[in-house]
Amino acid sequence: MTGPSSYQRIYAAVRRIPKGRVSTYGAIARVAGLDGQARQVGYALSALPSGSSVPWHRVINAQGRLSLERAASGAGITQRLRLVREGIVVDAGGRVSLEKFGWRIRAAKRRRD
DNA sequence: CCACTGACGAGTG
DNA sequence: GCACTCGCCAGTG
């Protein structure tokens, strides 16, 4: 076998984000062993079928903004709704404080999730 | 094979 | 904060 696909590793990494926290495309890429391929993370998430159990809404960009906020589809609204429902504060501009809600992960010294 | 496109990111001005 | 460039890589025509 060729081992798990990149997509599978990405989905597994996204599932690790605790409820009430958010992570970034770049950080997920790193956890998935795809350092520097943040773009692939977005590509993988866009391929998710509706109804997936993967918490894709917890993935935002490195600037703390919801990438779908600009999108013309309703996905941006869904993401915002899900985040707020988990207690995450999303401002009018579709921004989240990574300082307060960012998932802090350390491969070496992992104090908490 | 080439060109272009993306739910991205870091760097520069 | 905004605009632009370059690096990444899979999918599409």
- Residue range A22-77, pLDDT digits in tens: 999 999 999 999 999 999 999 999 999 888 999 999 999 999 999 988 776 778 89
Strand B–CB A96 distance below 7 A? no
Among A45, A39, A51, CA closest to A14: A45
Look up the pTM and report it: 0.89
- Let me know if residue A29 belongs to a domain: yes
pLDDT of residue A58: 97
* Domain contains A43: yes
Encoding tokens for residue A13? Answer: 């990494």
Report yes or no on A80 lying in a domain. yes
Tell which strand C nucleotides have any atom below 7 Å from a protein Cβ. 7-10
Q: Is the CB of A7 under 7 A from strand C?
A: no
Strand C contacted by A40 CB (< 7 A): yes
Q: Alpha carbon A14 to chain centroid distance?
A: 6
CA of A82 to C1' of B10 (A): 29
Query: Closest nt to A39 (CA→C1')?
Result: B8
Tell me how far apart the alpha carbons of residues A98 and A11 are, in angstroms, rounded to a whole number: 21
Query: What residue type is assigned to position A95 of the chain?
Result: R
Question: What's the domain count of chain A?
Answer: 1
Domain that holds residue A25: 6-101
